[in-house]
Amino acid sequence: MIRFSFALFCLFIGLFLSVQEIRGQDDAWLKKKTVSELEQRLKEIDTELEQLASYHMRTDIGSTGYESESHKQSNVTEWIRIELGEEAPIDQVVLVPTIRRNRESKLQAEGFPLEFRILAGTANTTNIVSTFKEEDPLLPRIAPLVVSFKPVNASWIGIEATVLSKRYWSSKHALQFSEVMVFSGAENVAHGKPVSARSGEYRYNPRHERFLVDGFVPYIIDSAIETTGMPLRFRTQDKYLKVSFTVDLQKPLPVNQINIHSSAKADLIPGDIPNDFGIPIRFRVLGSARPDFNDAVILFEFHRKSAYESGPVIIRRFPQATCQYVRLDILELAKDEFAKRGGFACIIEEFEILSHGKNVAAGKPTTITGWNPSRPPLAPRPLTDECNYYGKILPVKVWMNQLARRHELEAERPLVAADLNRRYARQKRILSIMSWLAVLLGSSTFFIILLSRSMRQRAVFQTREQIAANLHDELGANLHAIRLFSALAKDKLNSEEGNAECSKLVDVVDQINTLTEHAANTTRFCTNMLEAAELYENLPDEIRRTAQRLLADLKYDITMQGEDMLRKLQSSRRVGLLLFYKECLANIIRHSGATEVQTDLTVNGKKICLTVLDNGKGVEEPPPSLKRRARLLKAQLSVESSPDSGSKITLILKL
């Protein structure tokens, strides 16, 4: 029994350690999270992703930013410096990677540095605002890298790369960026500013350093707010048709930037139209405080000389001017590639007028001049509804930050989902182990109970056998010796004939002999009872035999109901009930002087009722021996008695 319990304990310990080993397989940074916390985090990620702008890549031809010279080694220093002009407090730098499609048709960053630092300063100061090492999880990525920091006064910023990444299509290393933005609040103060670099692979093509701050990025604005804008659209056969569009800001405001959005679509691969389709080849933007533009100032002029100088959003910064009216004068229209009869077209999705980074033209009224009024090209406020083909137009800083945030969440989500799946699988394994453990525990418990019961029964049997042996050997031998001495005494007394006292002693010796014989018979009966494997299996027959033996000289009657249930009683109850009945009969024989005895034994589904009646002289109170037997049976005892009608003993035993 002890060995079995020890083996079971060892098995429990082994299963516990195996469960603990399964528990120790989580990633270190996720160990502190519970399953419910991870599930909640996954929901939060999905909810936030639904609210962020999506990656929507351009499919046209355009500038791709800056590319340095190529190097055979990666640990070559390359640097870029952007002159911001006047000092301004800057708080964020955005590095937009050059995007390439690899052989597996997957998009990836090209030439993004592995180790670099960002510097900012003035003519007299230099500050290191951020440093990145190769072990930092920056790659792979296609999203912009947003670097935020405490505001720093700067008239220039620099990017110094010390470990370069390898080009996808060659074994050489280079530094590449599609765009660098430097924000002071909501304004990109680096747009259009002078750029210098340590080297340049292509000085006179779309990878020149001047394209690093032209405002063109590899993406098209595709926000999560889905609403369709109404572009300005018209066609004509006159390439130099003089058409003007005016936006009324409704009050004089300081403006320093204008963004013109083309009707950019990237639905087909390859694209069938350039992303600047419909943008005039030449136009001029004027600002004025008066609606007749008598005091107009030229804010900027645009002349597209190559595809590298245009894109989905044309951004122009200029010295701040206070205006209430802003007008775009078309000087030369672009060719309409889709017209059946040829001709020229103008399609402008949105006309943003910014005042320190805020679009003050949103929702403002627009007017057109120089076009046939019978075919108006405008719906109400089409140029100022803040929408493009894909949805709401976001401010550039917000747009870049949303794309960067999407990258972070899309990098985190697989880790959380994978860890959840591992934990679900682990829980399934633990549940399986615990199920088998429960089965094993139940089986072991059942086996232990059976074994323990068997051992207890064996101990009881051994004790009974020992008691029987002691009764037989010791008490039986002593009683036999008493009988022998009694016989000797009787023989001696019989030899003394004629002596009256001796005759009386002979009678006493006869009584001693009779009692000794009775005690021997009782001892023999107890010995046989203890040696029996099953006591009183047939209780009804035992009751009848007991009555026949003890009430041989009296008139008696026994009635029973439910004998089958009596035979199915537990052994302890069968013995206790029969001993109680014997004690009742013994008390009747010894004390009542009765001549008739009636026994009724009834069994129903819930209780046993034993009633013993006699016609003796009755008893004043229940005998102590009957009380003791009833208490051992946990039964209810009642005695009714009278000198005339005898006694009635009732025992009620609940099943």
CATH number at residue 383: 2.60.120.260
On whether residue 401 sits in a domain, the answer given is: no
Nearest to 111 by CA among 138, 92, 148, 135: 138
Q: List beta partners, residue 234.
A: 346
On whether residue 475 sits in a domain, the answer given is: no
| CA gap 157, 190 in Å, rounded | 9
- Residues of the chain above pLDDT 90, percent: 42
> Both 266 and 182 in a single domain?
no
Task: Collect all residues with Cβ–Cβ distance below 8 Å to 549 and sequence separation of at least 6.
Answer: none
Q: Helix or strand or coil: residue 383?
A: helix
Instruction: Please indicate whether residue 393 or residue 7 has the higher confidence score (pLDDT).
Output: 393
pLDDT over 50 (residue 23): no
Region 235-258 average pLDDT? 93
Calculate the CA 143 to chain-centre distance: 30
Task: Give the orientation angle of helix 500-531 with respect to helix 396-470, to 10 degrees.
Answer: 150
Nearest to 256 by CA among 193, 320, 192, 186: 320
| CA gap 482, 468 in Å, rounded | 20
* Model confidence band, residue 25 (pLDDT cutoffs 50, 70, 90): very low
| Residue 158 · residue 79 · CB < 8 Å | yes
On whether residue 179 sits in a domain, the answer given is: yes
Q: Which range among 464-478, 547-561, 592-606 shows the weakest confidence by mean pLDDT?
A: 464-478
When the pLDDT of each residue in the chain is averaged and rounded to a whole number, the result is: 84
> Both 153 and 101 in a single domain?
yes
Q: Which range among 50-54, 222-226, 412-416 shows the weakest confidence by mean pLDDT?
A: 222-226
> Both 387 and 246 in a single domain?
yes
* Model confidence band, residue 631 (pLDDT cutoffs 50, 70, 90): confident
pLDDT over 50 (residue 26): no
Region 346-371 average pLDDT? 91
Preceding amide of 140 cis, omega within 30: yes
On whether residue 595 sits in a domain, the answer given is: yes
Backbone angles phi, psi at 234, to 5 degrees: -155, 160
Torsion of CA 369, 289, 263, 229, to 10 degrees: -90
Can you give the CATH number for the domain in which 570 is found? 3.30.565.10
What are 154-185's pLDDT values in tens digits?
999 999 999 999 988 788 999 999 999 999 99
Instruction: Please indicate whether residue 577 or residue 533 has the higher confidence score (pLDDT).
Output: 577
* Model confidence band, residue 380 (pLDDT cutoffs 50, 70, 90): very low
Nearest to 249 by CA among 322, 355, 351, 325: 325
* Model confidence band, residue 482 (pLDDT cutoffs 50, 70, 90): confident
Residue 175, pLDDT score: 95
> Both 203 and 237 in a single domain?
no
pLDDT over 50 (residue 337): yes
> Both 286 and 201 in a single domain?
no
> Both 181 and 136 in a single domain?
yes
* Model confidence band, residue 234 (pLDDT cutoffs 50, 70, 90): confident
Residue 179, pLDDT score: 96
| CA gap 602, 275 in Å, rounded | 104
pLDDT over 80 (residue 489): no
Looking at residue 410, its amino acid is: E
Q: Which range among 128-142, 284-298, 614-628 shows the weakest confidence by mean pLDDT?
A: 614-628
Query: How many CB atoms within 10 Å of residue 577?
Result: 24
Mind spelling out the 3-state secondary structure of 484-512?
HHHHHHHHHHHCCCCCHHHHHHHHHHHHH
Residue 402, pLDDT score: 97
**How far from each other are the two terminal CA atoms of the chain, in whole angstroms?**
33
Q: List beta partners, residue 158.
A: 81, 119
Nearest to 598 by CA among 614, 574, 617, 582: 614
pLDDT over 80 (residue 471): no
Nearest to 23 by CA among 425, 614, 589, 502: 425
Please compute Rg for the chain using Cα positions. Answer: 55
Instruction: Please indicate whether residue 324 or residue 633 has the higher confidence score (pLDDT).
Output: 324
> Both 94 and 209 in a single domain?
yes
Give 195-263 as a DSSP string: EEES--S-SSSTTSGGGGGSS--SB----SS------EEEEES-TT---EEEEEEEEEEEEEEEEEEE-
Residue 32, pLDDT score: 81
What are 299-313's pLDDT values in tens digits?
999 999 888 888 899
| Residue 291 · residue 366 · CB < 8 Å | no
Range of the domain at 75: 66-213
| Residue 232 · residue 382 · CB < 8 Å | yes
On whether residue 383 sits in a domain, the answer given is: yes
Alpha-carbon distances of 461 from 455, 464, 470, 522, 577, rounded to whole Å: 10, 5, 14, 20, 20
On whether residue 646 sits in a domain, the answer given is: yes
The phi-psi region of residue 413 (left if phi > 0; otherwise alpha if psi is between -120 and 50; otherwise beta) is alpha
| CA gap 549, 552 in Å, rounded | 6
> Both 141 and 267 in a single domain?
no
Nearest to 383 by CA among 345, 341, 415, 350: 350
555-561/596-603 β-pairing: parallel
> Both 327 and 374 in a single domain?
yes
Alpha-carbon distances of 647 from 398, 530, 577, rounded to whole Å: 105, 32, 19
What are 68-92's pLDDT values in tens digits?
999 999 999 999 999 999 999 999 9
> Both 542 and 633 in a single domain?
yes
On whether residue 621 sits in a domain, the answer given is: yes
Calculate the CA 575 to chain-centre distance: 60
> Both 147 and 242 in a single domain?
no
Query: How many CB atoms within 10 Å of residue 305?
Result: 9
Written as six digits, the tokens of 547 are 């009555």
Calculate the CA 56 to chain-centre distance: 33
**Single residue among 361, 393, 425 that ends a domain in this structure:** 393
Give 146-209 as a DSSP string: EEEEEEEEEEEEEEEEEEPEEPSSSS-EE-EESEEEEEETTEETTTT--EEES--S-SSSTTSG
The total domain count for the chain is: 3
| CA gap 623, 649 in Å, rounded | 11
On whether residue 116 sits in a domain, the answer given is: yes
What's the angle, vertex CA 361, arms to CA 357 and CA 367, rounded to 5? 150
**Single residue among 352, 367, 393 that ends a domain in this structure:** 393
- How many CA atoms lie within 13 Å of 267's alpha carbon, on the beta-carbon side? 6
**Single residue among 393, 428, 463 that ends a domain in this structure:** 393
Residue 623, pLDDT score: 83
Looking at residue 585, its amino acid is: L
* Model confidence band, residue 574 (pLDDT cutoffs 50, 70, 90): confident
Residue 632, pLDDT score: 84
> Both 309 and 372 in a single domain?
yes
Written as six digits, the tokens of 38 are 């991870």
